[in-house]
Structure 1
Amino acid sequence: MTPLQLYTYQTPNGHKASIMLEEIGLPYDVHIVDIENGKQTAPEFLALNPNNKIPVIVDPDRDRTVFESGAILHYLAERSGVLLPGSDAERIQVLSWTLFQAAHVGPTLGQLWNYKIFAPERIPYVIDRFAAEANRIFRVLDGQLKRQSHIAGEAYGIADVMTWPWIHAGLNKLGLALELTPNLARWYSAVGARPAVQRGLLVPRLLRHESAVA
Structure 2
Amino acid sequence: MIDLYYWTTPNGHKVTMFLEEAGLPYAIKPINIGKGEQFQPDFLKIAPNNRIPALVDHEPTGGGAPVSLFESGAILLYLAEKTGRFIPADVHGRAEVLQWLFWQMGGLGPMAGQNHHFVQYAPEKIPYAIDRYVNETNRLYGVLDRRLADRTFVAGEDYSIADMAIYPWIVPYERQRQNLENHPHLKRWFHAIAERPATKAAYAKAAEINQQPTMSEEAKKVMFGQTAANTQR
Provide TM-score, normalisation by structure 1.
Answer: 0.92
What are the superposed Cα offsets for residues 144-187 of structure 1, whole Å, 9 maximum, x if unpaired? 0002111011111110000000001223x333211111000000
For residues 80 and 205 of structure 2, the distance between their equivalents in structure 1, rounded to whole angstroms, comes to 19
Other-structure match for 1:103: 106
Structure possessing the higher relative contact order (Cα contacts under 8 Å, 6 or more residues apart):
1
Tell me, which stretches of 5 or more residues in structure 2 are unaligned?
A: 61-65, 210-233
Q: Which AA in structure 2 matches 1:178?
A: L
Other-structure match for 1:18: 16
Other-structure match for 1:167: 170
Q: How does 1:70-81 map to 2 (within 5 A)?
A: 70-81=73-84
Q: How does 1:1-214 map to 2 (within 5 A)?
A: 3-62=1-60, 63-171=66-174, 173-206=175-208
Other-structure match for 2:217: none
SS of the counterpart of 1:139? helix
Across the aligned residues of Structure 1 and Structure 2, the Cα RMSD in angstroms comes to 1.2
Preserved contact between residue 7 and residue 31 of structure 1 (Cα < 8 Å) = yes
Q: Which AA in structure 1 matches 2:106?
A: A
For residues 104 and 202 of structure 1, the distance between their equivalents in structure 2, rounded to whole angstroms, comes to 27
Provide TM-score, normalisation by structure 2.
Answer: 0.85
Q: How many residues align?
A: 204
Preserved contact between residue 30 and residue 204 of structure 1 (Cα < 8 Å) = no
Return the offset for 1:205. Answer: 4.0
SS of the counterpart of 1:47? helix
Task: Percent identity, please.
Answer: 42
SS of the counterpart of 2:3? strand
Return the offset for 1:67. Answer: 1.1
For residues 147 and 87 of structure 2, the distance between their equivalents in structure 1, rounded to whole angstroms, comes to 20
Tell me, which stretches of 5 or more residues in structure 1 are unaligned?
A: 208-214
